[in-house]
């Protein structure tokens, strides 16, 4: 676990972009974990992760119409798109994070309820855990994730999210290539023929 004094690595070059079909699947999966009220407009204020493709935040004149659409699934897609770019998240890493999300669904009861930003915390936690196991050098990764959110979540928040996520999963992190293949096959329609394993240049990890 990162400490508050750990030096965060520089943010990776913003060059990698996950396919939109995968981002949409991810957003839908996370939003289906448990019932959460929509975030208020103030939740999105000043955070670059909710900026549009041209990296400009919506101006006040268009704020009301933008916030109406951003409160639902498109807002999470936008958040995910920017996180994946800034944290250099690969398609394979995102798929494995969704396998974790599916496992989380199974341990939560139908009565489980979350806060407005719970879906954002879930996907951040899942991506953080996956990157720690896929990359040899993960020193300062928690701090990097906090930095990426530009103050939306502090290092303490990120640490707490990670502990809670791992606790709910009971550290059940083992993922095989067959697990990924089965996930992709089960979501062929949503992924529109995207071949994650074929397009991934990274060596497939087995998590224990």
Domain membership of residue 160 (yes or no) is yes
Q: pTM of the prediction?
A: 0.77
Domain membership of residue 147 (yes or no) is yes
Domain membership of residue 4 (yes or no) is no
Domain membership of residue 204 (yes or no) is no
Would you give the end-to-end CA distance of the chain in angstroms?
17
Instruction: Give the 3-state DSSP-derived string for 98-115, with helices as H, strands as E and coil as C.
Output: HHHHHHHHHHCCCCCECC
Domain membership of residue 86 (yes or no) is yes
Cα separation, 117 vs 188, in Å, equals 28
Domain membership of residue 5 (yes or no) is no
Residue 35: the pLDDT is 86
Counting the structural domains of the chain, the total is 1
Domain membership of residue 1 (yes or no) is no
Tell me the per-residue pLDDT of 17-28, one tens digit each, with 9 for 90 and over: 778 899 999 999
Task: Take residue 29 and report the two structure tokens written for it.
Answer: 């999966």
Cα separation, 33 vs 123, in Å, equals 11
Query: Percent of the chain beyond pLDDT 90?
Result: 38
Long-range contacts of 29-32, Cβ-Cβ distance < 8 Å, separation of 24 or more: 29/98, 29/101, 29/102, 30/76, 30/101, 30/119, 30/122, 30/123, 31/73, 31/76, 31/119, 32/105
Tell me the per-residue pLDDT of 83-138, one tens digit each, with 9 for 90 and over: 999 999 999 999 999 999 999 999 987 778 888 889 999 999 999 999 998 887 77
Tell me the per-residue pLDDT of 135-167, one tens digit each, with 9 for 90 and over: 877 788 999 999 998 888 999 999 999 999 999
Dihedral sign from CA coordinates of 109, 110, 115, 120: positive
Looking up residue 51, the CATH number of its domain turns out to be 1.10.472
Domain membership of residue 130 (yes or no) is yes
Contact 34, 101 (CB under 8 A): no
For residue 67, is pLDDT > 60? no
Q: What are phi and psi of 35, to 5 degrees?
A: -80, 130
Full residue range of the structural domain in which residue 104 is found: 20-199
């Amino acid at each position: 676990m990162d400490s508050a004094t750990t030096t965060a690595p520089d943010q990776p070059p913003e060059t990698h972009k996950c396919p939109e079909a995968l981002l949409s699947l991810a957003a839908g999966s996370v939003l289906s974990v448990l019932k959460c009220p929509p975030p208020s407009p103030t939740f999105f204020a000043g955070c670059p992760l909710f900026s549009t493709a041209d990296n400009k935040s919506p101006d006040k004149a268009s704020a009301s119409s933008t916030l109406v659409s951003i409160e639902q699934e498109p807002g999470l897609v936008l958040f995910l798109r920017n996180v994946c770019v800034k944290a250099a998240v690969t398609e394979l890493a995102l798929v494995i994070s969704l396998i974790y999300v599916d496992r989380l669904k199974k341990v939560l009861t139908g009565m489980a309820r979350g806060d407005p930003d719970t879906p954002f915390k879930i996907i951040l936690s899942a991506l953080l855990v996956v990157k720690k196991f896929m990359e040899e050098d993960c020193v300062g990764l928690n701090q990097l994730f906090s930095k990426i959110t530009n103050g939306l979540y502090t290092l303490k928040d990120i640490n707490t999210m990670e502990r809670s996520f791992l606790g709910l999963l009971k550290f059940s992190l083992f993922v095989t290539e067959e697990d990924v293949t089965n996930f992709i096959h089960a979501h062929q329609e949503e992924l529109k023929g995207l071949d994650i394993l074929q397009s991934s240049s990274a060596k497939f990890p087995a998590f224990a």
